[in-house]
Amino acid sequence: MHIGLLIFSDPSMEQFTGADRFEAAARERGHQLVKIYEPYLSFEISPLPEGGSRGVGVQPQILHGGEPLPRLDVIISRPNFIEEPTLRTYASQMLTAAGYKIINASPSFASAKNKITQHMIFAEHNLPCPRWGVCRRPDDALKIAQDIGFPVILKVAFGTHGKGVFFTPDAQTLQPIAEYLAIRDGNPMIVEEYIQEAQNKDLRIFILGGRVLAAMERTAPTGDVRANTSNGGTGSVTVLTQEEQDLAVHVAKIFDLEIAGVDIIRSARGPLLLEVNANPGFKELERVTGQDIAGAIIEFAVQK
């Protein structure tokens, strides 16, 4: 079987998609993996012929690096970008319109790539999460933080691997960070409750096809609050409660993600949802659990 891996960057950044593990897992199962780099894709749409029937579907000419894109049985989408997601969904939409089957297609990943949209969906579905607020002005960020109670976490709308997440223990720390963020891009920022009892730990729960595939507890490195393993956090084996499993599966379903990394924090008032990741890393999870995550994704794509 010919399997595509849709990477939303040039080759220099493909390590954040687990491309090497996917290649090995596909080869071990007798499949051929074709890497598709979204910046190299171009689409040519021909207008309908005069008098032609409308509503028959778009059939674009698709080029990859100037050459026709080969037919593929299925494509695994790995949206490894941090920009405004609505500018990055067209490739998935065009490929779908051309008849390609895509795992984690847009618009599903778009809502997961914007942290503010995520939080709005959390609120819409009454999902348990830390107290939070959103604003543009530094003075409003300070007011929200004071209402929540210091320390708080300040987050930018777009980020990955813990980038754009700031621990602010007091007003003196928050004020200059909020001012800088307001000047830098003018985007809204999220002010979020810091959960003291979690002790800078969280859970990464990997969802595949509507079920929990694997999970680990992540611990932030000394002097940091971010437990992301890409920032030096370490993973360890954990046993999930049924409530934690149900919450993770429910969240992935709400976001319509077939592949999702759901981050949950353990608090005195139960599991709280932190974020949903549409391009979850899995190498540390494989190391900790001994599971072949890449192989499971390949097998899931083949079944689809």
Q: Domain 198-291's class? A: alpha beta
What lies within 8 Å, CB to CB, of 8 at 6+ separation is 38, 39, 78, 79, 80, 81, 88, 91
| pLDDT of 166 | 94
Domain 131-194 adopts which CATH fold? Dna Ligase; domain 1 (3.30.1490)
Using 50 as the pLDDT threshold, list the residues of the chain that sit under it.
Answer: 55-56
Residue type, position 6, single letter: L
CATH, range 2-109? 3.40.50
Cis peptide before 39 (omega within 30 of 0): no
- pLDDT tens profile 7-62: 999 999 999 899 999 999 999 999 999 999 999 999 998 766 655 555 445 568 99
Domain definitions of the chain by residue range = 2-109, 131-194, 198-291
Per-residue pLDDT, 78: 96
The confidence score (pLDDT) of residue 160 equals 66
Given this model, what pLDDT does residue 162 score? 59
